[in-house]
Each structure stands twice: as structure tokens, then as C-alpha cells.
Structure 1
């Protein structure tokens, strides 16, 4: 499957990594690698993420880090819609 990121998702990811990098450059690298690993898993098994209340949107947890990846399966692509720290509570779950 192809992986695509929305502009919003790319901006959220950059903001997350920039924030972590200010406090721990090695931590930012570890989080980035883990998020990339989860996205690779999604490409291989696109339906493993839990469905959210938003139609067609799934979420995957990037354990051991407290981040969620919101995505949608569209044809032969995975569209990453966003990233969120689990401490942030939004109504989209």
C-alpha cells in the first residue's frame, strides 16, 4: 500500500518532533522511528487500527509512546490524517 500524509498530518508530526527535540534530540529520533515503524505496519495490515466515530477513520497506538496515528484506507493507499498525544482529548475517538 502507498502511504500519503495530509498537510495537517505532516504539520502535526513536525510539531511533535520539534517539541521533543527541544528537550531530548535522541527522544525525538526514537519517537520518529517508532511512528515510522507503525506506519509501515499499517501499510502491511491496513485494517488493524481501531475504527473511530469518524466514518472510515481508524487509529493506531504508537506504543510505548503516547501517540495515536489517525488514518484512512483509500483504495490502495493509507492516508495519514493526523497524530495526537494521548493526553489530548478530542471528540474524534
Structure 2
């Protein structure tokens, strides 16, 4: 399946990296690779993620790191809409609808 990241998801990746690099550049790289691997896995197995309380939004936990990838499935693509640390409150339906 084709993958697409929304501008918000792209910004999330940038923000995660900007937060982690000053603390550990190698750690930031490991997190980036884990997030990208999880997103790639969604393209191969789009049904592996669980449903959320928000209609048409699914979520998957990044392996080995506490990040959640929120996405939607269409007939042709996986649309990654948001990437968030799991310690944060879940996004609201309004937050996810705007993406």
C-alpha cells in the first residue's frame, strides 16, 4: 500500500528529532528509524493497528519506543496523520479531523 504523511506528521517527526538530538543524537536516530520502520510496516500490513475511539483513525505503537502513529486507511494508501509520545493525552477528534 502507498504511504503518505500529512504536513502535521512531517512536523511531528521534525519536532521529535529537535527534542531528542540535544539529549542524544544517536538516540534520536534510533527513534527515527523505529518510527520509519513502523510506518513502513503499516504499508505492508495495514490491518495490524488497532482502532481508536475516533472514527476511521487507527493507532500503532512504535516498537521499543513510546511513540504512537495515528493514521487513516483509504483504498489505496495509509495516511499518517499524527505521531505523538504515548505519555501525552490522546488527541481529540477535532485535532485529528483537521489533518
Q: TM-score range by the shorter chain?
A: over 0.9
State the partner residue of 1:32: 32
State the partner residue of 2:4: 4
- Distance, in Å, in 2 between the alignment partners of 1:39 and 1:68 is 10
- Distance, in Å, in 1 between the alignment partners of 2:92 and 2:44 is 25
Instruction: State the Cα RMSD in Å.
Output: 1.3
Task: Tell me the number of residue pairs that the alignment of Structure 1 and Structure 2 aligns.
Answer: 93
SS in 1 for 2:22: helix
Q: 8 Å contact 1:5–1:81 — kept in the other structure?
A: yes
Q: Deviations over 1:15-59 (max 9, x none)?
A: 011110111000010000001111111000001101001111100
Residue 77 to residue 91, structure 1, CA distance change in 2 (3 Å): closer
- Distance, in Å, in 2 between the alignment partners of 1:92 and 1:26 is 32
Q: TM-score, normalised by structure 2?
A: 0.88
SS in 1 for 2:73: strand
Q: TM-score, normalised by structure 1?
A: 0.94
- Distance, in Å, in 2 between the alignment partners of 1:43 and 1:55 is 20
Runs of 4+ in structure 1 deviating by more than 6 angstroms, as ranges, are none
1:46 paired to 2:42: no
Which structure 1 residue ranges, 5 or more long, are not aligned? none
